[in-house]
Structure 1
């Protein structure tokens, strides 16, 4: 197996959504590995992208404030890049139900824009797409492997599934090498905490840091697995440096599942602040809830050697410490 970290030395790469949560953390790893890093981000308010996320590495990356929906722009930007980490997307499930057309534009049609730009202007590029476990919908069995039916419960899941399939088709038919990483719940520094529409863990962390109350929906018995952002970025690095995953969609899950109520108790214990209260499910959230979910990442591990190494306690400790120092910059 190639040395996937050494692979990036001097390598021209591009990250769409590069000023967002995972994108900016990935950029930090790549510049340390000596890559030539271009970040593309539209900086749409409330989507999570922020120049704050690249504080300290501003002079080591090139930033293009651009929208992946623009074909002519993408035609130009993809040129000369050897690896594209395609992370740009609308990730709020609730927003996708309130405004399905915007979700369709960003998570579905825009993925075609990126891939067409590659096919026409840089067919030798490798594209790694940020997929999501949301495409599976409510699981028939646990842990969920890649053989599970794709059966989304919301508009976001449908559009992400379509975007993923475009990447696989362009790999299989047009030879634009690509794969998709189906991420479970990612968390860590530089995650959006301004509002609660992009997943609950970032919002929980903010409430804990502010010593506020966390509302747990229902009985808190639902289970999830969580991936610390450094482990997620390591997965992207491995996928980008190897052709083993080409044409495939693979799960990238956490070390072990945990119940919501136990997650909150662990956060309170780690932070020594915050408290919790059980409340009824809001109707709009209950309608698209998938119940318990945790992933089987065996296929990706066998293909690339990837393993998550950050325990939930360690990851929460690091994340809470980050926001205690920098919270005001993210509000």
Structure 2
């Protein structure tokens, strides 16, 4: 891939996807600058880049700070815009912070690029949450957007700002709508990023998994496959101005997922619980993605099976659990 000596800025660069992307880009010979607030609730972790800490630059800064971002964006070839508030419950309890990070800050980033680096290429991490409760499955990009929580509304606005700036100002931008991303370096101390992280933590601490409901269908994308999609979209002009779903290699319900995780680990148990009443109004029910658009346009498809993804993730946390609690 043609990232040798390219200048790359990654917002949320010390987080789950950002740090895995940084490892890949360092291996490709890129000059990588990581921007992260390290706000405890948002998933940034310096250990995520422990193996490459001397091969990247780090700036502890907030994407809401227009003055620092004006300086950071200049001279960059690519911006992988991954910073965000990811908790759906947090967005309902503190909607204004979610608005600032997932909506207003995105507009500020784009304005800064327009004024100080209009030739940059931007890859934005969007989310399947903007679809809301699906009308049909699998969900394709033509599906109605009907978010069920504040986070989904703000992420939808952030995504549309990127496409608008592509269409009106020629700031090359592409949005990838991520489903459940899993893998090494994801947040496991709580469910702010993904419920699967908490399951892995409980499994490694010899506690039973709590499965809410259990019948909901989901798909999962391994983080290396997400990184591959980001890089492909970065390199291919056909991605400019487009939104693409990502998906997984299979569809599974949550009860079967818990059983599979326990099987891969070799021990453990789970308990079924009714879906919590405070979360039910913002639950989307079943979801899995149709990713034919990115497959046909950019040649992407998931390469990692769910079994392998779970195995790789468990192996990582068996070795490094203490750094993620």
TM-score by length of 2: 0.99
Q: 5+ unaligned residues in a row in structure 1: which ranges?
A: none
Please report how far the alpha carbon of residue 84 of structure 1 lies from its aligned counterpart in structure 2 after TM superposition: 0.5
Give the match for residue 251 of structure 1: 245
8 Å contact kept, 1:221–1:260: yes
CA-to-aligned-CA distance 1:58-88 (integer Å, 9 cap, x gap): 0100000000001111111100101100000
Q: In the aligned structure 2, how far is the partner of 1:202 from the partner of 1:322?
A: 12
Please report how far the alpha carbon of residue 310 of structure 1 lies from its aligned counterpart in structure 2 after TM superposition: 0.3
Q: In the aligned structure 1, how far is the partner of 2:308 from the partner of 2:141?
A: 28
Q: Does 1:286 align with 2:280?
A: yes
CA-to-aligned-CA distance 1:161-208 (integer Å, 9 cap, x gap): 000000000000011000100000000000001112322111111111
Please report how far the alpha carbon of residue 273 of structure 1 lies from its aligned counterpart in structure 2 after TM superposition: 2.3
1:208 alignment partner, one of 184, 197, 203: 203
Give the match for residue 326 of structure 1: 320
Q: Does 1:15 align with 2:6?
A: no
8 Å contact kept, 2:186–2:193: no
Matches within 5 A, 1:111-150: 111-150=106-145
8 Å contact kept, 1:210–1:274: no
1:237 alignment partner, one of 231, 234, 253: 231
8 Å contact kept, 1:17–1:41: yes
Please report how far the alpha carbon of residue 221 of structure 1 lies from its aligned counterpart in structure 2 after TM superposition: 1.1
Tell me the secondary structure at the aligned position of residue 9 of structure 1: coil
Tell me the secondary structure at the aligned position of residue 174 of structure 2: strand
8 Å contact kept, 1:93–1:198: no
Q: In the aligned structure 2, how far is the partner of 1:303 from the partner of 1:201?
A: 30
Give the match for residue 168 of structure 1: 163
Give the match for residue 274 of structure 1: 268
Q: 5+ unaligned residues in a row in structure 2: which ranges?
A: none
Q: In the aligned structure 2, how far is the partner of 1:141 from the partner of 1:243?
A: 30
TM-score by length of 1: 0.97
Q: RMSD between aligned alpha carbons?
A: 0.7
